[in-house]
Amino acid sequence: MEFFNVSIHDVTKSSLSKVKRIKELLMEEGIEKITYLLIPNYHRGETITEIKEEIQELVSNGEPVLHGYTHKGKEYFKLSPMKLFTSNEGEFISFSEEELKKRLRKGKKILEEIGIRPKGFIPPAWLIKKSTIKTLKEEGFEFATNRYFVFNLKNEQKQFSPVVTFSCREPIQWLSKELFLLQTDLYARFLKAVRIAIHPCDIDNTEKVNLIKKAINDLKAVGQEKFLNEIAKGGQND
């Protein structure tokens, strides 16, 4: 492994206090290049403009990324994998390409209203259609990710880098904790870049916090921390 990235997901008004605690944890562990996944209009119930100053302070010296528009997809039947594994959060696999384009533009506009111009896009639940990758490039984004790849949209290249993360729902949560360090070590041995994703719910779980600390220190011993945009460019400084 050469590089690693640590990202904080689901930055919204209602998650802000937990996001700040995660940032504090990461800074205590010596992480400086943090990627923040911002949701402009979370579940159509709160907009990020309501906490403009706090968001600006939060992402200063960090990497802001557009993370969907509402983070909410279509409702699926109870036993659907989309319901079980994502709780219907797969916004960018749920709608037509034209609708997704509208959501991208609305999301960018809201972030621009608070002075943030994201270079990258990460879909909710990492679920995205192949056609949307092309749309992202057309809409001016420089990079994107799904669960398995980091995409450089400028040169249309991609890098295999599966994300390591926890689930917040049982019984998947238990399994994700059991596999967290194993995945981190395996990817660090064989891949160029490792991605760690942290969600607001993780900070309230002591076991998860300890696993995050261990993983970060293991990664720092063998690689350099980078923003996702830098990883998309092969490790080149932004």
CATH code of residue 174? 3.20.20.370
Q: pTM for this structure?
A: 0.94
Phi and psi of 25, rounded to 5°? -60, -45
In a domain? residue 111: yes
Q: What is the CA radius of gyration of the chain?
A: 17
Q: Per the structure, how many domains does the chain have?
A: 1
Q: Under a CB-based contact definition with an 8 Å cutoff, are residues 215 and 185 in contact?
A: no
In a domain? residue 184: yes
The CA distance from 38 to 208, in Å, is 22
Q: Work out whether strand 63-66 and strand 120-121 pair parallel, antiparallel, or are unpaired.
A: parallel
In a domain? residue 66: yes
Range of the structural domain that residue 34 is part of: 3-232
| Per-residue confidence (pLDDT) for residue 74, from 0 to 100 | 57
In a domain? residue 14: yes
| Per-residue confidence (pLDDT) for residue 86, from 0 to 100 | 55
| Per-residue confidence (pLDDT) for residue 238, from 0 to 100 | 65
Tell me which residues of the chain have a pLDDT lower than 50: 76-85
Longest dimension (CA), the chain: 45
The CA distance from 33 to 128, in Å, is 25
In a domain? residue 105: yes
Q: Work out whether strand 149-152 and strand 143-145 pair parallel, antiparallel, or are unpaired.
A: antiparallel
In a domain? residue 238: no
| Per-residue confidence (pLDDT) for residue 76, from 0 to 100 | 46
DSSP label at residue 75 = -
In a domain? residue 237: no
